[in-house]
């Protein structure tokens, strides 16, 4: 989907989510091959399964369905009698072609509301003791994205001082003080005492179907073996699955999430595959199954949320994504060449990034608008910066 159509969808998203009748659309979307049956099933299960959650997920996923996705979607709306929304999108799309600036994203700036008598140095957002009433001064209200707030308006995060540990040898008063500090900051660290520590699932996609247009990922087996050895040493129960389709990947992750992790302290997911950009609310990127269909990182992470995996509540959930993030090239910079001893004979420098193809592999761009709180106890690590 080109950038103009993507911006149009985002601009109309609120109205589409509010008015879209998704139940009538499923057959039309399948008939026009905009989505596969598996994709429709995933959309139907989005969030709580309500109409609004399904509509929201449908609009997000529509951005990943190729350059003709929007006109085909408009035709589906007309086929199902949703002429008002179809007319809105068609008219807006025609207007955008004539005047691209008409759908340019709004340049949001923060607005500070507060008493005119307050001096600039008094415009701070600070944590106030409720037992100490303010002396007639009204706190300013800041409207706008927090990341755009001026530095003086950012909330102050109050944390107890945690000095860097110093090696003072065994025994002595300094060691006792260090232990006291450790006890005082125990709530800031995860306890990883279980043996085994937790489950580690490695999905290693090396070979892809011919129709996907994706190359064999030579050298991935070496990465897989090293990750398997490393997490064994860290006392994880490691399970490796190779060459899974997108649906099989979701099934394997779901099976892991449904296990009882009550006696364990952590969970790790490692995915080695080709990747691409993907529309998202929180976690960018997607990874391909061996059939050439992508699974978004956001969907992977959400499988392990508090509802889907309650026994991992309050425990770290780590995701390592070894895949490209898009089409952009990172040219890097020159460094001293590594020695021949550091190179593995069977390793290959072939990147995971691939041009987007028509069909199962489609062009995609990230949606940088975040409207949900970040899930707790989550770490997502990417081998490449999103977009590269």
Please identify every residue annotated as catalytic: 274, 324
**Cβ contacts of residue 307 below 8 Å, gap of 6+?**
none
Residue 322: alpha-carbon gap to chain centroid: 14
Strand order in the sheet with 317-322: 236-242, 198-204, 266-272, 317-322, 378-382
CA distance 273 to 287: 6
CB 207 within 8 A of CB 216: yes
Cis, peptide link before residue 40, omega less than 30° from 0: no
The pair phi, psi for residue 242, each rounded to 5°, is -115, 145
CB 288 within 8 A of CB 274: yes
The pair phi, psi for residue 43, each rounded to 5°, is -65, -40
Helix (H) or strand (E) holding 107: none
The residue with tokens 């995933």 is: 42
Strand order in the sheet with 275-276: 275-276, 286-288, 294-296
Q: Is 240 helix (H, G, I), strand (E, B) or coil?
A: strand
Nearest 5°: the CA angle 100, 102, 105 is 95
CB 92 within 8 A of CB 15: no
β-sheet bridge partners, residue 201: 239, 269
Most distant pair of Cα atoms in the chain: their distance: 80
β-sheet bridge partners, residue 287: 275, 295
CA distance 18 to 55: 8
CB 199 within 8 A of CB 264: yes
8-state DSSP, 35: S
Q: Is 215 helix (H, G, I), strand (E, B) or coil?
A: coil
């Amino acid at each position: 989907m080109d950038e103009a159509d993507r911006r149009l969808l985002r601009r109309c998203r609120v109205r589409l989510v509010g008015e879209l009748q998704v139940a009538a659309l499923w057959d039309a979307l399948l008939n026009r091959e905009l989505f596969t049956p598996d994709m429709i099933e995933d959309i139907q299960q989005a969030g709580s399964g309500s109409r609004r959650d399904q509509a929201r997920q449908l609009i997000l996923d529509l951005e990943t369905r190729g350059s003709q996705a929007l006109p085909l979607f408009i035709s589906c709306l007309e086929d199902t009698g949703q002429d008002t929304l179809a007319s809105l999108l068609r008219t807006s799309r025609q207007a955008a072609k004539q005047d691209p600036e008409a759908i340019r994203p709004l340049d949001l700036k923060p607005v500070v509301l507060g008493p005119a008598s307050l001096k600039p140095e008094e415009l701070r957002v600070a944590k106030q003791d409720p037992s100490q009433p303010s002396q007639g001064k009204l706190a300013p209200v800041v409207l706008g994205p927090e990341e755009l707030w001026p530095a003086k308006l950012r909330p102050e995060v109050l944390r107890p001082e945690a000095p860097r540990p110093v090696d003072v040898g065994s025994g002595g008063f300094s060691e006792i003080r260090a232990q006291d500090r450790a006890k005082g900051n125990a709530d800031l660290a995860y306890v990883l005492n279980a043996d085994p520590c937790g489950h580690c699932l490695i999905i290693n996609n090396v070979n892809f179907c011919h129709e996907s247009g994706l190359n064999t990922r030579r050298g991935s087996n070496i990465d897989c073996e090293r990750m398997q050895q490393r997490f064994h040493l860290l006392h994880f129960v490691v399970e490796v699955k190779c060459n899974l389709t997108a649906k099989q990947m979701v099934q394997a992750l779901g099976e892991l999430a449904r296990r009882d992790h009550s006696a364990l302290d952590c969970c790790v997911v490692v995915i080695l595959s080709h990747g691409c950009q993907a529309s998202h609310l929180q976690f960018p990127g997607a990874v391909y199954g061996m059939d050439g269909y992508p699974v978004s990182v956001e969907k992977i992470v959400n499988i392990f949320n508090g509802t889907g995996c309650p026994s991992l509540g309050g425990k770290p959930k780590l995701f390592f994504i070894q895949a490209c993030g898009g089409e952009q090239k990172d040219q890097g910079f020159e460094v001293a060449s590594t020695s021949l001893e550091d190179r593995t004979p069977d390793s290959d420098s072939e990147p995971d990034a691939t041009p987007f193809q028509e069909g199962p592999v489609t062009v995609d761009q990230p949606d940088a608008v975040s409207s949900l709180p970040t899930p707790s106890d989550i770490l997502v690590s990417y081998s490449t910066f999103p977009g590269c």
